[in-house]
Amino acid sequence: MIYTVTLNPALDYFMEYEQIEIGDVNRTSTTRMTPGGKGIMESRMLSLLGTPNTALGFIGGFTGQAIRDALIEQGITTDFTQIAANSRVNVKVKTVSEETSLDSAGPKLTPEDVEHFLQKFEFLTEDDIVVFAGTAPKSLGDDFYDRLIEAVVARGAQFAIDVDGQKLLRTLTNRPLVIKPNREELEEMFDVKFEHKEDIIPYGQKMLAQGAKNVMVSMAGDGALLFAGKKVYFAAPVKAEIKNSVGAGDSTVAGFISEWSKSKDPLKAFKQGVACGTAKVFSDDMPTEAFLEQCLNQIEITELV
């Protein structure tokens, strides 16, 4: 089974405008509300790909119930830890030229909430993959992902992780199945600036040497790189109208995990991951299966090293 972990789920409230006038009344042309959080986005893409998965995390209140109901309606199995506080609401404001995200901090968690959540990791097996993504609530402390990874490794399961900066680097000794920093995150992690995609190669190889089994580096409109074994691959970007970039990176990770769980082929997994991220960017919400297949057929991969 594939498990996705979202420690701070949200309802994402999308509002679209022609333009925003600060200090004035702005009337939206379109609104919609969807379950959000990086792991939840991964579950949604996995479900679209027909890959069974279970969404884990903390939810509470009427907002938490709305998150659970929406996922169940999409055919996603949920095993959330129920808490007393309300799950958060994030507001995503989009104009013709810009996207702005107004994110809530999220609820405080009790020691009892945490203990109930940790119990779910006692039943993992060697056949399971756990996908960690996004920030942890401050009440969980700075080392909570380390504790979760320790529980996964102790039971012989595999994990993928998509978190920021030094938190990502310190997970590498535990041999994550795949990591996916973007170019800007990589620059910050290693305090460098990349002018060309070739500049990234030594750093991707360094993360492999530090323990990652596969490394994807997304470069937005400039494509993506895969580091696997001694090989480096480049996926050329597909050009189209950007509609909603929220969840594109999460969709890339989900696409990789979905294919890898079936074929164990990192190159095929990379192609599907890039296709999923591409299709997500060019869709208002989740892409259709037909559009996802169309994007997959457009992905061109070349070997750089």
* Residues marked as catalytic: 250
Q: Any alpha helices (H) in 55-200, and if so which ranges? A: 61-73, 111-119, 144-154, 165-169, 183-190
Q: How far apart are CA 104 and CA 68, in angstroms?
A: 19
Query: Please, what is the end-to-end C-alpha distance for the chain in angstroms?
Result: 33
Strands 53-60 and 2-6: parallel
Look up residue 44 and give its amino acid.
R
Q: Any alpha helices (H) in 36-155, and if so which ranges? A: 38-48, 61-73, 111-119, 144-154
99 with 110: CB under 8 angstroms? no
Q: Which residues of 221-248 are buried (b: 16+ CB within 10 A; e: fewer)?
A: eebbbbbbeeebbbbebbeeeeebebbb
Backbone phi, psi, residue 130, to 5°: -110, 130
